[in-house]
Amino acid sequence: MDKLNVLIHINENEKWKVALGNISNLLNDAGDENVDVVVIANGYAVYGYADSEKVSPMEQLAVRGVKFIACRNSLSNMCQEGVACLKEELMPSFITIVPAGITEIAKRQHDGYAYIKP
């Protein structure tokens, strides 16, 4: 069976709990080996990657095959706005950083990923 390719878009930090719960439900329902889940965080949601309470369940999902992506534009904008500066080299190793999350979201859909915004 072909894998079910799913893209989860999150751009608000307060939506992480819902998003991570959705992904867990998806893996449990479809079976880890039957899905390919990519999470793309931009905007303020990138701060979730610096929040240990959120990083812990993310890591558990990463072990199950979920990919986590952060938008570099968002990281640098947030830093310039004085909200917080997250150093890329200090971020958890399971996170991949892309130049522009928005381009990644568009490209993944053209590659056949279903788009879901929790």
User: Where does this chain bind its own copies (CB under 8 A)?
Assistant: 4-6, 9, 11, 18, 21-23, 25-26, 28-30, 35, 42-43, 73, 77, 99-100, 102-103, 105-107, 109-110, 112, 114-118
What is the smallest separation between the CB atom of 98 and its own copies, expressed in angstroms? 9
What is the smallest separation between the CB atom of 42 and its own copies, expressed in angstroms? 7
Q: Which is nearer to its own copies, 96 or 103 (CB)?
A: 103
Q: Which two tokens stand for residue 17?
A: 């709990």
* Spatial contact of 7 and 109, defined as CB atoms under 8 Å apart: yes
